[in-house]
Each structure stands twice: as C-alpha cells, then as structure tokens.
Amino acid sequence: MPNPHGILVDLLDRLVIIRAQTYGPTEIIQVEDEESLAYLGKIGQKISLRHAVQLLFPTSVVAKINGQDNICKEVFSGH
C-alpha cells in the first residue's frame, strides 16, 4: 500500500496539521489588555513570532467558548 502524501504512516500519525491563516487588525485588536500582549510577546520571544501569531485563532475560539469577546492571558496560559 502506498504511503499517503508520500510520508511514512507512522510519521503521519504523529503529525498535527494546523491550518494557518492571515490575521488582520481586527483579530489582533481583540487581545484584551497589555498583560496579554506582553505574555504573547514572551511566547514570541521564547519560541517564535510566527507561533505566537498563530496562537491568536485557537485562543479566540477558546475565548468565545468561554463567553468572552476578547483574548486574555488566562486563555493563552490555559488557566
């Protein structure tokens, strides 16, 4: 049986595919306060800016599930 996408099946099982999209001012402005922005900046410095920016979409989904309109530090840190 051929490997899907040309990748070994055991490796493919361990991959997580995340759809990335461009974030505009509307999504970025939804970060609630300076503390949240500072925390996002620390993530960007520690890991990468790209990773920090890609966190905006999933954290906005979690915020909406929790009944919040804006992203706050607690959503980023999982508390």
- Residue 54: its H or E element: helix 49-54
- What is the C-alpha separation between 48 and 38, in angstroms, rounded? 14
Classify residue 8: in a domain, yes or no.
Answer: no
Report if residue 4 sits inside a domain: no
List beta partners, residue 71.
31
How many structural domains does the chain have?
Answer: 1
With respect to residue 5, please indicate whether it lies within any of the assigned structural domains: no
Q: What is the DSSP letter of 55?
A: T
Decide if 17 is inside a domain: no
Per residue in 9-47, pLDDT (tens digit) is: 777 667 666 666 776 666 665 666 778 878 888 888 888
- CATH number at 58 reads 1.10.8.60
pLDDT, tens digit (0-9, with 9 covering 90-100), for 41-63: 888 888 887 888 788 888 888 88
Q: Is 4 a residue whose pLDDT tops 80? A: no
Q: Copy the structure tokens of residue 36.
A: 């949240």
Q: How far out from the chain centre does Cα 37 lie? A: 14
Residue-range definition of the domain harbouring residue 73: 24-77
